[in-house]
Amino acid sequence: MPEHPPADRPSPDVERLPSGRHRLPRAFVADHQRRRILAAVVAVVGVHGFGHLTVDAIITRAGVSRATFYAHFRNKDDVFLRACDDLAARTARRVAAARRDQPDALRRMAAGLGALLSHLAADPPAARTWMVESMAAGPEAAARRDAALGALARLVAADLRDLDPHHPDPDLTAETITGGVYQVLATRIRRGETTALPDLLPRLMTISIPACCAR
């Protein structure tokens, strides 16, 4: 059974504004249009893949005109990068919020990873867009994905230092952990198992924490 709805109808993610004349501020309308377009990108790519992303598909899904699209974005690549930036920022906020106020490094790692898994599982099209389809979208998208993973790796490295002040190479270990977890999650997202990602938390924590740090 598919994890996502069809992507050939106007996006339900951001409701349309009333048609005709209204008194809404211009800035509000512009922001609303932008959010509808970004939601449409995720809906199209998250169902059909980056190869099927076109301006026509975006404006059909978003329910906006071609002129409105080009008032906000240069082309499909520009809007895809902006959508990925938005997804990465939302993910980072969820992880940071979950880690906040945890009493120790081990609980910070578990809370952050758990938040990541739950966040991805809650929106399979968004998870596929950011975690999988960005790999097919060219070097700029790959660089932005790598930057987001690098930020997560730095959090893990700081936790490893807290767990073991004498760790020989926390940065490389954190990079390895983050890259490995990413590959595991991307594989399961490609297989249509996104909603089951939270079930991986105990096993991912077990393999992510070096024995010297778990003592």
pTM, two decimals, is 0.85
Q: Is residue 60 part of a domain?
A: no
Determine, yes or no, domain membership for 113: yes
Which string of DSSP letters, residue by residue, matches 158-185?
A: HHHHHH-TT-S-HHHHHHHHHHHHHHHH
Residue 47 lies in a domain: no
- Say if residues 189 and 2 touch (Cβ distance below 8 Å): no
- Ordered per-residue pLDDT tens for the chain, 215 residues: 446 544 444 344 555 555 555 567 678 778 899 999 999 999 999 999 999 999 999 999 999 999 999 999 999 999 999 999 999 999 999 999 999 999 999 999 999 999 999 999 999 999 999 999 999 999 999 999 999 999 999 999 999 999 999 999 999 999 999 999 999 999 999 999 999 999 999 999 998 886 556 55
| Structural domain includes residue 27 | no
Task: Tell me if 164 is assigned to some domain.
Answer: yes
* Residue 204, token pair as written in the block: 């991912």
Return the pLDDT at 26. 78
Determine the structural domain holding residue 141 and report its residue range: 80-214
Residue 197, classified by CB atoms within 10 Å of its CB into exposed (0-12), middle (13-18) or buried (19+), is: buried
Task: Tell me whether residue 32 is in a domain.
Answer: no
Q: How much is the pLDDT for 16?
A: 56
Reference 188, options 178, 176, 200; nearest CA is 200
Residues of the chain by 3-state class (helix, strand, coil), percent to 5: 75, 0, 25
Task: Give the count of domains, the chain.
Answer: 1
Residue 201 lies in a domain: yes
Q: Is residue 135 part of a domain?
A: yes
